[in-house]
Structure 1
Amino acid sequence: MLVAVADHGSFGGAAAALDCTQSRISHGIGELEAALGFRVLQRSRTGCKPTEAGQRVLAAARQILQLAATLPSLGASDAALAGRLRLACFRSISTHVLPPVLAALAQEQPGIRIDIDDSFEERDALVQALRSGGADVAIAQLPVGAGLVTRPYVADDYVLVAPASLALPAPISWQQVDALPYLQLDCAGARDIAARCRAAGWTAQPDRTLATDSAIAALIGRGLGYSFLPRLAVHPLPDGVQIQPLPVAARRQFVIAALPGVARQPACAMLMRYLGLARLQTDSAAYRAGLLAE
C-alpha cells in the first residue's frame, strides 16, 4: 500500500490500483505508521509524498516486493532445475568466496551450470553487465542503483597496504606514510575511499595510477609506494607487503543482484539462494582467514 501511494501520489490513486477502498488504504498506512512509530507519508491538499524516514521505508518496501516475486520459483522441483547461468564478479570474490557455492551446486544441483566472468575491475561495469544481458547474476558492490533485485552479501574492509619494511606502530597516522608515493587503483571504489581519506586529513596525490590491485601490490612489495586496497584483493599477502587498518573506517559491501525478470527464473532463483546460504559463506577461504567484515 505504501508503494502504491508513493507511485500514484494519493490514497485514491493507490486504492484504484489495488482495487480496494480508499479507507482501506488509509487504515493500512495508519497501521504501518503505528507499528513503526513514525510517519511515513506527508499529506496535503495536493496529495501524499513520503517523509524523509518514509523514503527509507519505501526503498525497503520495494526490495521486499522484489524478493517476494521470486518466492514462487522456490517451489519448483529441485531435481528438475537446469540451465546455464552467467555470473559476474570481481576476481577476489571468485577466488576466495565462491568455491564452496560452486561445489555445493555441482553436487546438489547438477543441472545448473555456472559460467563465471571475474574480469571486472569497475563496480559500475558489473551493473551494466546485468542491464545489458551480459550476465544473469552479479556479485555487485554497492551502490548499484534502482531496478535490480538485491540481497545482502559479504563485505570486506579497505586496508592500508605498505612495504613490510616500513615501521607502522599503532595507531596508524597519515604522517607515517608521507615519505612514500601513493599508488592509486584506477576504479571508482578506490577513488571514493581516497576522497574519504582526504576529508579526514590525508593530503597525498597519486604518484601512479594502475589498473589492477595485483600490480599495485607487486610494486609495494618492492618498496615503491603504498595504497588503499580491499582486504580480499591482497590475499594472500605478497612477499614484502604488510596491511594495517586505515585511520578512517571504509568498507566494500557486496550484494547479490539480478534483474527482476531474471531473478524469477527457477535456476537463477536457486543460484541466488545458494549464494546467500550462510553455511557456504562460512565454509569459504575468506571467512576462515578472517577476511570478511562483521
Structure 2
Amino acid sequence: MKALPTLKQLRYLVALADHGHFGRAAEACFVTQSTLSSGIQELEALLGAPLAERTRRTVMLTPLGERMVKHAHDLLRMAEDMVDLAHKQQGIQSGEIRLGVIPTIGPYALPAALPRIKAAYPDMKLYLLEDQTARLLNQLRKGGLDAVLLALPYPMEGVDTQVIAEDKFQLACPPDHRLAGRSSIADDDLASEPLMLLADGHCLREHALAACHLEGRAKMEGFEATSLQTLVQMVASGLGLTLLPQLAIDAGLTAGLDIALVPLSG
C-alpha cells in the first residue's frame, strides 16, 4: 500500500498557503513552528518534490505546492464532513472545538466558562486562539476555527451569529474627577473629555464610542493602548478617562485600584 499524506500534514500545508509564513501558520494550527516545519518536510519527502520555496521573510509555494493545496482543501473538507456526520449522530460529546476569542472578552469570560464546559463535555478537546476580530473571522471563514466569541456590531457577512449576552459600559475616571460620584453621566458630559481608548483594530474602541454617541472621534494624541489592563492603570495614575465593559469590571479588572466607576445613562 502506498504511503499517504496525513490530514495533519495537509492542514499544515493549507495554513502555510494562507499565511505565507511558518510562524503564523504554526500559530493558526496551534503547534510550534518546528512541528509545522517538520510536517511540511515529511510531506515533501513523501511526494518526492518541494512544495515551498523558503526565503528569509516569506514562503512561496511551488507550482506543485499550489496544486497540492487545492487537493488538500478538498480532502480536509471531506474529512470534516465525516466528523460532522458522526457528531450529529452522537451529539457533541467528544472530538475537538477550535474557538477564537477577542482579547477584550477572553480573559474575563473564559475563566468562569471553561470549567463548566469541561464538566459538561469531559472528552472534548478545546483549542483557543486569542486575536483581533478581523483575523479571527478570516480564520473562521477559511475553516481554521469552528466558532468565534466576539462583540457586536461588526460586519458578519457569510457567518451565522447567535447573541449569548449583552453588555454595558461604565466610565472609569480618577476619584477626584468632576464626573466621579455621579449616579450616571450623559453623552454631553463626555463631549469635551479626552478619552483613552484601545488602538485601531480593536472593535471595543468603536463600541465604546458608539455607546456614548461619539463615533468618529479622533484618538487621544500621544496615547494608544492594546489592552484594558493598560487603560485602567493609566486611569489609576490620574492620566485620563476611559470606558470599560461591565464584563471586565465584574471579572475584577478594577479591583484594588483607586478608580471611580460611573454608569452611562440610558
Q: TM-score range by the shorter chain?
A: 0.5 to 0.7
What count of residue pairs does the alignment treat as equivalent? 174
Answer yes or no: is the 8 Å Cα contact 2:198–2:205 preserved in 1: yes
**Other-structure match for 1:244:** 262
Answer yes or no: is the 8 Å Cα contact 1:210–1:216 preserved in 2: yes
**Other-structure match for 1:139:** 149
Q: 1 or 2 for the larger relative contact order (CA 8 Å, sep ≥6)?
A: 1
Distance 1:177 1:146 in 2: 33
What CA deviation, in whole Å up to 9, does each residue of 1:82-136 have, x standing for no partner? 322211113453344334543344334222110122x33x333332231233322
Distance 1:213 1:135 in 2: 25
**Other-structure match for 1:206:** 220
Return the match for 1:123 from 133, 137, 159: 133
Q: Which runs of 5+ in 2 are unaligned?
A: 1-83
**Other-structure match for 2:238:** 223
Please show how residues 81-96 of structure 1 align to structure 2 within 5 Å.
81-96=93-108
Report the residue type matching 2:136 in the other structure: L
Report the residue type matching 2:109 in the other structure: V
Report the residue type matching 2:198 in the other structure: L
Normalised by the length of structure 1, the TM-score is 0.49
Answer yes or no: is the 8 Å Cα contact 2:171–2:262 preserved in 1: yes
Of all paired residues, the percent bearing the same amino acid is: 21
SS of structure 2 residue aligned to 1:168: coil
Answer yes or no: is the 8 Å Cα contact 2:105–2:150 preserved in 1: no
Answer yes or no: is the 8 Å Cα contact 1:83–1:112 preserved in 2: yes
Answer yes or no: is the 8 Å Cα contact 1:127–1:140 preserved in 2: no
Normalised by the length of structure 2, the TM-score is 0.53
SS of structure 2 residue aligned to 1:149: coil
Q: Which runs of 5+ in 1 are unaligned?
A: 1-70, 250-294
SS of structure 2 residue aligned to 1:103: helix
State yes or no: 1:172 paired with 2:185: yes
**Other-structure match for 2:53:** none
Query: Using a 3 Å threshold, how does the CA distance of structure 1 residues 180 and 188 change in structure 2: closer, same or farther?
Result: same
**Other-structure match for 1:162:** 173
What CA deviation, in whole Å up to 9, does each residue of 1:50-72 have, x standing for no partner? xxxxxxxxxxxxxxxxxxxxx98
- TM-fit CA distance, 1:217: 0.7
Query: Using a 3 Å threshold, how does the CA distance of structure 1 residues 74 and 84 change in structure 2: closer, same or farther?
Result: closer
State yes or no: 1:114 paired with 2:140: no
Higher normalized strand content (fraction of residues): 1
Query: Using a 3 Å threshold, how does the CA distance of structure 1 residues 137 and 205 change in structure 2: closer, same or farther?
Result: closer
**Other-structure match for 1:42:** none
SS of structure 1 residue aligned to 2:165: strand
SS of structure 2 residue aligned to 1:154: coil
Answer yes or no: is the 8 Å Cα contact 2:104–2:204 preserved in 1: no
What CA deviation, in whole Å up to 9, does each residue of 1:180-200 have, x standing for no partner? 642121223313532563559
What CA deviation, in whole Å up to 9, does each residue of 1:182-237 have, x standing for no partner? 2121223313532563559x988624221111101100011110012322234411
SS of structure 1 residue aligned to 2:105: helix
Please show how residues 48-127 of structure 1 align to structure 2 within 5 Å.
76-78=89-91, 81-99=93-111, 101-117=113-129, 119-120=130-131, 122-127=132-137
What CA deviation, in whole Å up to 9, does each residue of 1:5-37 have, x standing for no partner? xxxxxxxxxxxxxxxxxxxxxxxxxxxxxxxxx
RMSD: 3.4
Distance 2:122 2:192 in 1: 54
Return the match for 1:183 from 185, 193, 196: 196
Report the residue type matching 1:224 in the other structure: L
Query: Using a 3 Å threshold, how does the CA distance of structure 1 residues 104 and 168 change in structure 2: closer, same or farther?
Result: closer
Distance 2:214 2:193 in 1: 20
- TM-fit CA distance, 1:160: 1.1
